[in-house]
Each structure stands twice: as structure tokens, then as C-alpha cells.
Amino acid sequence: MKTLEDFKNGEVLLIDKPLTWTSFQAVNKLRWAIRKSFSIKKIKVGHAGTLDPLATGLLVICTGKMTKQINTFQGQEKEYTGTFVIGSTTPSYDLETEIDATFPTDHITEDLIHLTTKQFIGKIEQFPPVFSAIKKDGKRLYEFARAGENVEIKSRQVEITEFEITEINTSTKLNTKNLELKFRVVCSKGTYIRSLAHDFGKALNSGAHLSELRRTRIGKFKVENALSPEDFIATLPLED
């Protein structure tokens, strides 16, 4: 069982973030639990890379002196799995917002899908989603988006080292045939998988959005070694 000194000297905690939780909520939950368990007023706790509320998977959370390593961990490559829905788009590029347009998919073949992935391997220019936490003029981009304000977003260079479609399924929603593509991506810091979904749909001469996302790895840290917040809290000593 970890001691207070362990957490102060620095621990790297691998947490499997639940669906709908923000990364901030996960950090706060663990910080509160550590403080309560050891009856202390404060301790440094931070995460190495945000996950959207609609994503699940690996959060690397650092305590005490290990918070100095957060920038190092953030810069390491990341692996994700999830689902693209081809045939419809949303303003947020995921399920945070409603479908705003539908597109044909009858022309899309399995060969075309696998061929198109090759366009995105290597260093690519990518526009972050307007529904994102990136700051511009002191405000988060999603604040502009939710207020219905247009804002100019600059592209950024990211690198995708692996991109594969692992499963192809067909579904019908809103009388439109959608293709549901399961994927795996290995990419650099700063890559938006929502933007990859959007751009992948356009490259197929259709439209797409992200319906599911799970982070499975950051550098050497893997989600199969992670605990849920509740399971981590259960490892802490009970408050006296």
C-alpha cells in the first residue's frame, strides 16, 4: 500500500477514464481521495494529456515531484482505437453535437477505405475542431463555437505513424446508409482524432464523424495496466 511519502515523492498513476468524465474531474477525484485518506490539505496532482468527455481510456496522472515529468509524458506518441461513422457529419466532429449533414456512401468500397488510410500516414496538416479547448484571444475555441461565432483556426502539423481500419460495418440511420469503421491510430502529440475522422470522410468524397474513442497507450504506458478511479481509491488506506 502506498504511503503519503510515496505520493509526495512522486507517483505515476494509470487511470482508465470513464465515459462522460472530464480529465479535470478525474484528477480532482484522485486529489480529493488522496487528501482525505492521509488527512492533508494539499498535494500536487496533474494529468499528462487531456481526453474529451466522450472518450475513454488511459490518463497518466502524476503526483508530487513527478508532476515535473508531465510535459515529457505529454510529448510521447499515443495510440487510440475507436469508430468513425461515414455518411454523416456533426459540427463538433463527434457525438457532442447533432448530425448536420448526410452524404452518399454507395461509392465507397473496402479497397477504397484501406487505400485512403495511406493518405494520412506521415506528417500531415490538420485543423483542430472548432469545438476544442485550444485558446484563441484568451477564449477556448468551444466558447466561440457555442456562441455561434466564426473564428479563424490555423492548421498544425501532426504525425501519424500507424493508421489501420480493423472492421467495417454497415448501419442505417435517418434513412441514410452509414459505414461504421473500427480503427487503430498511433500518432504524435496534438493530433485530433475527431479531425482525422472529419478529414477521412472528405477524402472518401463523403462525410464522417467520430462516434467512439479510446486511448490505449501513451509512450510505454498501456491502458490494460490502468485502474478505474474507484479501483484506485480502493487501494488507499482508510482515513483514521
Q: Please name every residue paired with 79 in a beta bridge, in sequence order, or none if there are none.
A: 186, 217
In total, the chain counts a number of residues equal to 240
Catalytic residue among 16, 52, 94, 199: 52
Pairing of strands 55-63, 208-218: parallel
The CA dihedral of 136, 138, 144, 150, to the nearest 10 degrees, is -40
Pairing of strands 176-187, 88-89: unpaired
**Residue 166, C-alpha cell as written in the block:** 480493423
- Residues contacting residue 120 through CB under 8 Å, at least 6 positions apart: 160, 163, 196, 199, 200, 203
Closest CA to 27 of 52, 50, 4, 6: 50
Is 231 designated active site?
Answer: no
Cα separation, 71 vs 68, whole angstroms: 7
Q: Where are the alpha helices (DSSP H) in the chain?
A: 4-9, 23-38, 70-74, 110-117, 141-146, 193-203, 229-234
Tell me the DSSP string of 147-166: TT-------EEEEEEEEEEE
Is 166 in contact with 183 (CB distance < 8 Å)? yes
Task: List the catalytic residues.
Answer: 52
